[in-house]
Structure 1
Amino acid sequence: MSGATHPAGGPRLYDRTAELAAVARLSTRAAAGRGGVLFVTGNPGEGRTALLSRAAYDFPGTAYRVAAPHHRGPWSAARALFTELAPTPAAGRRALRLARSEGGLVRAVATLAAEGEAVLICVDDLHLWDAHSRAALAAAWQEAGGRGYGRPGRVGWLVSAARHHRFPEVPGAETVRLGRLTTSGARALLGDLCTGVAPASPVGERLLDEAAGHPGVLAAAVRRLTAPQLAGALPLPRPAVDDTVLAEVYGGLLERLPAASRRLLATVAVVALAGRTGADGASTVASGVGGPGGSVPAGARGARAPAEPLEGLIADGLLRRRRGGTVGFEDPFLGRAALASARQSWRGRTRAPGPSGGPAEVLSAGGPATGSTPAADRPAAGAALARGEGHRADRLGASAAVRALSPVALGRAQLVRGLAALAGGPVMYAHEALLQAAELLRGRAPTEASDARFLAMEAAWAGGDVEACLAALDGGEDVGGLERDFADGLSAALTVRLDDARTALTRVVAGEGDADDPRLLLRAGAAALVLGDTAAAARIHARALVRARAEHRTALLPHALEQLAYAELRAGRYSRAARAAREGLRTAEATGQHNVAAHQHAVLALVASVEGDGTAVTEHAGRALATAGPHGLVQAATLAEWALARAELGRGLAAQAAARLLPLVRPGPRGGHFALRMLVVPCFVETAVAAGRDAEARDAAEEYAAWAALGVDGPAQAQLARCRALLAEGEASAYWFREAVRRHDSCGNDFERARTLLAYGTWLRRRRRPGDARGPLRDALVTFERAAAGGWAEHARSELRATGGTSGGTTDPAALRELTPQQQRIVRLVARGATNQEVADHLSLSPRTVDHHLRGVFARLGIRSRVELPGVVDGWDAGREVPASAAGRRPGR
């Protein structure tokens, strides 16, 4: 802590002209009474603390500097802040109590700041503050920023945090990012560091070369050298920037990361040094994460799964995703520091017999940092990597590094490569890499081998390759329990051994009650979908989403939302599917999971085709296909093409829609996704019949009949009856339509029931039976409107008008007599503004019964919503009053 207004001396900064200009703007605003917030971010050792010290020194008013306290309990940082600001301990305690109230931190600071005097508060290392204090600060800044910092006075905030920390959204706040020094700036810093001894020219050039413009690394490297070494009388360490230097600069950051993240950074660093370079010259490694729509995320426990640490590191900015599904280090020194940390950890342990499975396994096998390159070349390779010159590091020792890696190290490298293609690259490449990883890790790291196999299955599922799915599920002898049940059940389902599949998958679904891990819940939800239980699938996936949010597992959220959207889609709840898909799209794009984003676009395209929004269909389907094509996402492509066909059918382009759907319902490598092919058939039959392609429609319907008999999809029997009604003639069609409606009543998918009613009403109207057609069409219209299916509702409304009926507005007063007394009572209560629950309480009914009656009333009266009921009731009452008064008149009066 330093509460001094002016430090004894101002620190000298190098190449920070833009940053100091931003500080000057903040000081000017504070002096003018407007206040403000300036965020400063940078990697370890890049000078965040030095910038804050210089700002405090230059500030014309009172400046306070507050660092993160060593103790990180709740409100510990806020307590340290007010201890620094308060003139007495009692005042500090009062301010802390005020800060704990909602939005109270601004007022608390105002009570301590000198009246009328500008104040600068320099907050260092915000990422190390406790969550309570950070939240209070964010609320204070947002409150003040929302009103332009006009109050509480002349307070400016200069806040620093590590590069991976995410600052809160604050209106009007400015952010500056520190970076490397220029050659001239680094040379000036070196001169100031070497006080009393001017470094020999070769020594200085080597230090500048290896430090690559990083001020903290340069300073740490100079501090460990003796005067003779600086003068060139004694040789420098090789390399000058070695493990000790990197540990000094990056050790604190790495120590605060979870063990899984540290291990993953070390693995990526090994592959980056040993592998080929990216197009931009920076060392890269193919890596990433993703999940197929409708597939099962791998990993029995979140701590085991490598996907989440990788996505977390990308989201935090420690790694960055590049084009082509590659990942590299945002700061190349971090990779070397991760390797150094892993080596140090290994040296401090006694090596146990057999493979360890730890990060040091990568290094003990003779990786690039432990002997894979010739001794003379290792320093140069490290310096080349630090500067981002991957071509030099590759020439100096990549092939030797690869040859020296152990099977576990190679397996982990393949696992990292496969994860990336699963997130943002070709999924069948991911499948091959992940299978190789599983083989390399089998028997040596069984947990990771199991994860790799399930991830390979995900990749194959997204690519629509049944054989590849089976290959990934086969040979997983390392798994047991529900993992084994899931693998066996899914294999049985893919090979149409449904009795075996039901037995195994039912155990997986039943096990969700004891599961708290969201990955286990997602697996149980996927099993429910395979069994055709969409209600259970939606419930379980929603629970998985809640758990993922509660545990702050950001990387898992896109997968949970993708699965939930797909379950809602299968259940016919399109508005819910859209809500989940929109949130899933935001989280997928935020974490760089481009393949998941493509699937969410496909879901949104299908929803838009139901809503009748042709523009949205084209946009979302186009974005889904733009990724699905080059990455081999057959599932996303199938959904997108299906959406485009439904939009074409809505515009009356039946022939075009049938031509688009025909490949999707055919088996084989050029067909649609194996898990969606049969689901598309009812839509194809409808379009094919409308386009006059009856023979192809019959062939598809017969295959669909065999599939529906398996009982793996609830609405299948009802939709099969609808297909037969469309293909039949005369009264046979009427029979099958009535049979379809009957079967729909027990399967729970109201949207598909409405589609059948619409088709039935249209069939009746075209056979000149308008009176019979109005009932089914009105019921279909009400259901479509309740489901926000605007396109289908307009179609039903048009058909209803063609019968001479009405879809709203005036209602025949005689229709009141067609309602039951119970329905009339419900109508009058709802017309007065009562909710379904209030009506149920008044009439001793259940809300579900009230809803059922209202649906029948809407269909009978030809109205769209409860909003129209008051006008209908007023019309009825007026109609009864007119005859009564007329009957009371005497002739001649």
Structure 2
Amino acid sequence: MSGATHSASPGPPLYDRGAELAAVARLSARAAAGTGGVLFVTGGPGEGRTALLARAAYDFPGAPYRVAAPGHRGPWSAARGLFSALAPTPSAARRALRLARDEGGLDRAVALLTAASASVLVCVDDLHLWDAHSRAALAAAWQRAGGGVPGSSGRVGWLVSAARHHRFPDVPGAEAVRLGPLTTSGARAFLRDLCPALTPDPAVEQRLLDETAGHPGVLAATVRLLTAAQLLGTVPLPRPLVDDSVLGEVYGGLLGRLPAASRRLLARVAVVTLAGRTGAPGSGAAAYGAAAGGGRGARGTRPSPEPLEGLVADGLLTRRDGVLGFEDPFLGRAALASARPPTAGTPAETAADRAAGAAALPAGEGVSPAGPALRAGLARSEGHRADRLGPSEAVRALSPAVRGREQLVRGLAALAGGPVMDAYEALLQAAELLRERTPEEASDARFLAMEAAWAGGDVEACLAALDGGGEAGGTERDFAEGLSAALTVRLDEARGALERVVAEDGGSDDPRLLLRAGAAALVLGNTGAAARVHARALARARAEHRTALLPHALEQLAYGELRAGRYSRAARTAREGLRTAEATGQHNVAAHQHAVLALVASVEGDGAAVAEHAARALATAGPHGLVQAATLAEWALARDELARGLAGQAAARLVPLVRPGPRGGHFALRMLAVPCFVEAAVAAGREAEARVAAEEYAAWAALGVDGPARAQLARCRALLADGEGPAYWFGEAVRRHESCGNDFERARTLLAYGTWLRRRRRPADARGPLRDALVTFERAAAGGWAEHARSELRATGGASCGTADPAALRELTPQQQRIVRLVASGATNQEVADRLCLSPRTVDHHLRGVFARLGIRSRVELPGVVDGWDAERRGQSSTAPRPGGR
């Protein structure tokens, strides 16, 4: 790491980087003008990210700081290096680190350390190598400032580079540029700069340009290995020019940081790609199968298709029309070189021969190595020759294990972004093909098929996938048997098996086992355990950099939070899940996250957001058969309609969702939507249908698989009762809500109870439930429902807000007055904390004191208090004597 010093030179000249240098100039200008900002630079190994940062630091007129990735990646190691570069003394660096680490103030620490500079450019190289703590703190600082740094008056510009596969955080106003290969003219000029003392022979120059394909790092590494005689053409050039040593120099760092399983997968895809170029029959069709091959991993661990999806998600592999490949061909060759034994080949060795040698990668016990099979078009052990068979025959001649893995990865692709029942069929085929040779992989395929059938709302298909898994054992068998029993409503049998899954897998460090345990907890109705276990699964997936698994983990956590009634948490998780799903091409997961966000928006009363998210969910759910996502989206639309007084429309929308049978809603959500249907149907005059649904709901509630069910059943009976019967059932519903933990549903019951009391001409009795409902809706940020409760409260003759004496506001401290004004304008505790440089806990403490001082019950009353105070001040100002007696 280096401090604020200009380099003695700008480094080697940059060619074909006009757009990138223009973006750097814009960033520098913003920093000089006091508006600051962030510029992200991404590129592959050797494409010149570090050179661009060196040139930017050299050209910057203010104080440039160069910050490289640390040599180790312990917690906060990168932030420590950043502050060491910025701070004038070690003690100042330590103080800055404490501020960033203990108070979440990395932005304030940077502002303090750079306060003496008129403008600052911080060049951060290799952000992808920074530790997670430092990256998160830096991202939070950028996001809070919208690209600038609070407290620094926008004097700081951030120029940040990372490898191409790294995903930068979402920062408002940030620019991003991507480095690529040089043009022929740019590469030629760069080559001549690399050889200042001689002019390469034209034929040598052309061959260098052709074989290095405009890659600046590969070109520079190749030239360094050539002698002057070779460059002048008096000594023959080696074949190939770009050999293993060149590839290792440029790509060794990237490959060395990947897990061994990922390196093996890259090598296998490279074998398949090379085999396809040499005309091997069937190579393209079986690319997935070869990539997913490999049998058991190190130490006997079972293989997983997940690393393959992670490589695709990270951009190290491409996937087009079901075929895997490399956007960067040098990466594929480097992966082969890293897997190949260190033996020298003869000069006459062909590309196909080298592919065959590289195909001797570790294969599973009893599994035909994928490389030779694809190079020749079939497995040699099966006694066939490629030149006697066509492509389709060659694919059929592959071993069952290779074909099974091909189906497995095809099924995964459809599960991520295609028709889920297509995924189901492919995954079941994979399970059958893999059953004899690799039973663990067959078990994985069956569980994935069950996931596909679940998303498609097909109970029979779920049972078929689970019933065929005779190879499963331990908690896998418990999960299969327990879930089968639950799907056939044998809950006494299901409970013991699924509880064992939650207890055993819930303590695992494997994200996949944790996700299975969380699913078991949801089936049991234990939403608290489900949210806790899914949160642990998410944390483990992040810690292990399992990019492809993150969207699924976030999807499950969002749904668990939704079931538990923690809507703000569900929304936050779903938004992150939506970003990761879209970034990794998992469109089916994105549809589910849109549906969750639509349901949360229906709680918040944001009709526009409900319509937008529901439409986007249904746009994918329809063609892909996502019955679960479609049911959530339609339910959200119905809840929004009910909140807006459109009971008839809401009831009509909910009828198909609560109807049994294949044309109804999702089997796991049907009963959950019944209370909403009963409320809408009663209001719309469809009481007969509401009674039928309520009776079925009563039988389901008795099973005890949903915490709020008994309380919501009592609410349904209150809505359907005559005379004074509702009074008893509403009271029973409120009593039962106390132990179920879903505050929003409790508030809906209180609202319905208060409304019934008001209509019975008992306004004094109605005010208590309505006030409680209003406070709870406000805490849940359920704006539409809060307004409904407020209007009902006004109809009773009770004030809904602004009841405090405005004069009492003057008794608050200046800090409390600032907090009150921000909260009254709609800011959350976190937003107030960020604005005033406090912790959310401190803001909450101040608000409790404010409520006690003003004699109010919640933040919903603060706007009325502030308006009254401002009105009083305006009145005093208007009555004050004016200069001159006027």
In the superposition, the TM-score normalised over structure 2's length comes to 0.69
User: Counterpart of 1:146 in 2: which secondary structure?
Assistant: coil
Change (3 A) 1:730 1:321: farther
In structure 2, the partner of 1:424 is 417
After TM superposition, the structure 1 = structure 2 runs for residues 89-168 of structure 1, keeping only pairs within 5 Å, are 146=149, 161-165=162-166
Q: Distance in 2 between matches of 1:475 and 1:546?
A: 32
Structure 1 residue 494: Cα displacement: 1.4
Q: Distance in 2 between matches of 1:645 and 1:67?
A: 53
Q: Distance in 2 between matches of 1:401 and 1:230?
A: 48
Greater shift in the superposed pair: 32-41 or 681-690? 32-41
Q: Distance in 2 between matches of 1:665 and 1:228?
A: 78
In structure 2, the partner of 1:690 is 683
Q: Distance in 2 between matches of 1:767 and 1:526?
A: 45
In structure 1, the partner of 2:335 is 338
Structure 1 residue 437: Cα displacement: 3.6
In structure 1, the partner of 2:365 is 355
User: Counterpart of 1:712 in 2: which secondary structure?
Assistant: coil
In structure 1, the partner of 2:615 is 622
Q: 1:574 aligns with which of 544, 567, 592?
A: 567
Q: Is 1:521 aligned with 2:522?
A: no
In structure 2, the partner of 1:669 is 662
Q: Distance in 1 between matches of 2:119 and 2:789?
A: 68
Structure 1 residue 730: Cα displacement: 4.4
Per-residue Cα deviation, 1:622-656 (whole angstroms, up to 9, x for no partner): 22222322332211111110111111122222221
Structure 1 residue 507: Cα displacement: 1.3
Greater shift in the superposed pair: 482-491 or 716-725? 716-725
In structure 2, the partner of 1:530 is 523
Figure out how many residues of one structure are paired with residues of the other and give that number: 769
After TM superposition, the structure 1 = structure 2 runs for residues 547-586 of structure 1, keeping only pairs within 5 Å, are 547-548=540-541, 556-586=549-579
In structure 2, the partner of 1:817 is none
Greater shift in the superposed pair: 579-588 or 603-612? 579-588
Q: Is 1:318 aligned with 2:328?
A: no
In structure 2, the partner of 1:879 is none
Point out where structure 2 has 5 or more consecutive residues left out of the alignment: 278-283, 289-296, 343-355, 381-385, 805-850, 866-886
Change (3 A) 1:669 1:246: farther
1:355 partner amino acid: E
Structure 1 residue 660: Cα displacement: 0.9
Structure 1 residue 606: Cα displacement: 1.7
Q: Distance in 2 between matches of 1:807 and 1:779?
A: 11
Q: Is 1:480 aligned with 2:465?
A: no
Structure 1 residue 180: Cα displacement: 0.8
2:316 partner amino acid: L
After TM superposition, the structure 1 = structure 2 runs for residues 7-406 of structure 1, keeping only pairs within 5 Å, are 11=12, 13-19=14-20, 41-48=42-49, 146=149, 161-165=162-166, 176-189=177-190, 208-218=209-219, 237=239, 245-266=246-267, 269=270, 306=304, 309=307, 312-313=310-311, 316-319=314-317, 329-344=326-341, 355=365, 361-367=369-375, 406=399
In structure 1, the partner of 2:837 is none
Q: Are the aligned partners of 1:367 and 1:404 in contact in 2 as well (CA < 8 Å)?
A: no
In structure 2, the partner of 1:497 is 490
In structure 2, the partner of 1:647 is 640
Change (3 A) 1:697 1:268: farther
Q: Distance in 2 between matches of 1:669 and 1:443?
A: 34
In structure 2, the partner of 1:609 is 602
Change (3 A) 1:98 1:539: closer
Structure 1 residue 682: Cα displacement: 2.1
Compute the RMSD of aligned alpha carbons: 5.9
Point out where structure 1 has 5 or more consecutive residues left out of the alignment: 277-282, 288-298, 373-377, 379-396, 812-857, 873-893
Structure 1 residue 43: Cα displacement: 1.4
Change (3 A) 1:362 1:656: same
Per-residue Cα deviation, 1:481-523 (whole angstroms, up to 9, x for no partner): 2222112211221122222211201212233663344443332
Structure 1 residue 462: Cα displacement: 1.6
1:341 partner amino acid: S
Q: Are the aligned partners of 2:803 and 2:861 in contact in 1 as well (CA < 8 Å)?
A: no
1:534 partner amino acid: T
Structure 1 residue 160: Cα displacement: 5.5
Greater shift in the superposed pair: 404-413 or 712-721? 404-413
User: Counterpart of 2:521 in 1: which secondary structure?
Assistant: helix
Structure 1 residue 603: Cα displacement: 1.9
Q: Distance in 2 between matches of 1:589 and 1:215?
A: 32
Higher relative contact order (CA 8 A, sep 6+): 1
Structure 1 residue 198: Cα displacement: 5.7
Structure 1 residue 129: Cα displacement: 6.8
Change (3 A) 1:255 1:284: farther
Structure 1 residue 182: Cα displacement: 1.4
User: Counterpart of 2:486 in 1: which secondary structure?
Assistant: helix
Q: Are the aligned partners of 2:36 and 2:149 in contact in 1 as well (CA < 8 Å)?
A: no
Greater shift in the superposed pair: 308-317 or 101-110? 101-110
In structure 2, the partner of 1:600 is 593
In structure 2, the partner of 1:385 is none
In structure 2, the partner of 1:459 is 452
Change (3 A) 1:285 1:313: farther
Per-residue Cα deviation, 1:541-591 (whole angstroms, up to 9, x for no partner): 344445555666565444444333323322334344334434444444455
Q: Distance in 2 between matches of 1:515 and 1:601?
A: 30
Q: 1:701 aligns with which of 694, 705, 719?
A: 694
After TM superposition, the structure 1 = structure 2 runs for residues 437-456 of structure 1, keeping only pairs within 5 Å, are 437-456=430-449
Per-residue Cα deviation, 1:768-803 (whole angstroms, up to 9, x for no partner): 666766665555455444544343344344445555
Change (3 A) 1:334 1:444: farther
Per-residue Cα deviation, 1:667-723 (whole angstroms, up to 9, x for no partner): 333321110011112222222233233443343334333333333223334433443
1:604 partner amino acid: L
Q: Are the aligned partners of 1:784 and 1:790 in contact in 2 as well (CA < 8 Å)?
A: yes
Change (3 A) 1:268 1:451: farther
Greater shift in the superposed pair: 4-13 or 609-618? 4-13
Q: Are the aligned partners of 2:35 and 2:148 in contact in 1 as well (CA < 8 Å)?
A: no
Q: Are the aligned partners of 1:326 and 1:420 in contact in 2 as well (CA < 8 Å)?
A: no
2:165 partner amino acid: H
Change (3 A) 1:61 1:759: closer
Per-residue Cα deviation, 1:412-463 (whole angstroms, up to 9, x for no partner): 4444443333333333333333334434444544444433333332222222
Change (3 A) 1:273 1:744: farther
Q: Is 1:679 aligned with 2:672?
A: yes
Q: Distance in 2 between matches of 1:264 and 1:721?
A: 56
Q: Are the aligned partners of 1:724 and 1:736 in contact in 2 as well (CA < 8 Å)?
A: yes
Q: Distance in 2 between matches of 1:609 and 1:710?
A: 28
Change (3 A) 1:418 1:333: farther
User: Counterpart of 1:453 in 2: which secondary structure?
Assistant: helix
Change (3 A) 1:272 1:669: farther
Q: Are the aligned partners of 1:40 and 1:159 in contact in 2 as well (CA < 8 Å)?
A: yes
Q: Are the aligned partners of 1:85 and 1:92 in contact in 2 as well (CA < 8 Å)?
A: no
Greater shift in the superposed pair: 707-716 or 241-250? 241-250
Structure 1 residue 32: Cα displacement: 12
Q: Distance in 2 between matches of 1:188 and 1:698?
A: 82
In structure 2, the partner of 1:471 is 464
